[in-house]
Amino acid sequence: MSKKLSNLLNEYFEPSVSKRPMRLRADTFEKPIKATACSWEIHSDPERFSRKFKLESRKRAIDFVNEVMQLEDEMNHHGDLKISYDEVSIDVYTHNVNRITELDQEYIRSVDFIYKDVLDFDYR
């Protein structure tokens, strides 16, 4: 037995008496909405993401930086990287608007995946 999409959606919306669009029912969602965890800090002047990555060796730090720089070239979006032996600091924001944009959010998600990948790589 299949339901129509409109019938399924009605469970999430309040009925509309007029021609106005239906509103989401407040009781269908958990309150308050919880933000997802993020290991990046947000700073101001300019608004930017910032994070320090600690790696277990200089070799892993080099591999991490190489992967991040390759990502930056592919995205044509570049962060400010600072390398201190086995620690890498990254600040990123969209320079032409002087703040964080969706492009920066995509950048930090990708960098987090690269970091996990470098940590999990077996150097034997």
Q: What is the pLDDT of residues 34-52, one digit of tens each?
A: 444 568 999 999 999 999 9
Q: Quick one: CA torsion of 31, 34, 47, 87, rounded to 10 degrees?
A: 170
Predicted pLDDT at 50: 97
In a domain, residue 91? The reply is yes
Please report which confidence band the pLDDT of residue 98 belongs to, taking 50, 70 and 90 as the band edges.
Answer: very high
Residues in the chain: 124
In a domain, residue 71? The reply is yes
In a domain, residue 6? The reply is no
Predicted pLDDT at 38: 66
In a domain, residue 102? The reply is yes
CA dist 121 → 56, 63, 75, 108, 117 (Å):
12, 10, 24, 20, 6
CA 70 from chain centre, in angstroms, equals: 18
CATH number of the domain enclosing 85? 3.30.1360.20
pTM: 0.68
3-class SS letters over 51-86: EEEECCCHHHHHHHHHHHHHHHHHHCCCCEEEEECC
101/1 Cα distance (integer angstroms) = 44
Q: What is the mean pLDDT of the chain?
A: 81
Top pLDDT among 19 and 106 is at 106
CA dist 30 → 13, 27, 34, 54 (Å):
15, 8, 9, 36
In a domain, residue 2? The reply is no
Q: What is the pLDDT of residues 9-32, one digit of tens each?
A: 555 555 544 445 544 444 544 544
Using the predicted structure, report yes or no on whether residue 89 has a pLDDT greater than 80: yes
Using the predicted structure, report yes or no on whether residue 53 has a pLDDT greater than 60: yes
In a domain, residue 106? The reply is yes
**Which residues neighbour 59 within 8 Å (Cβ) at sequence distance 6 or greater?**
123
Using the predicted structure, report yes or no on whether residue 56 has a pLDDT greater than 60: yes
Top pLDDT among 18 and 83 is at 83
For β-strands 41-43 and 80-84, DSSP reports them as unpaired
Predicted pLDDT at 31: 45
Determine the structural domain holding residue 102 and report its residue range: 41-120
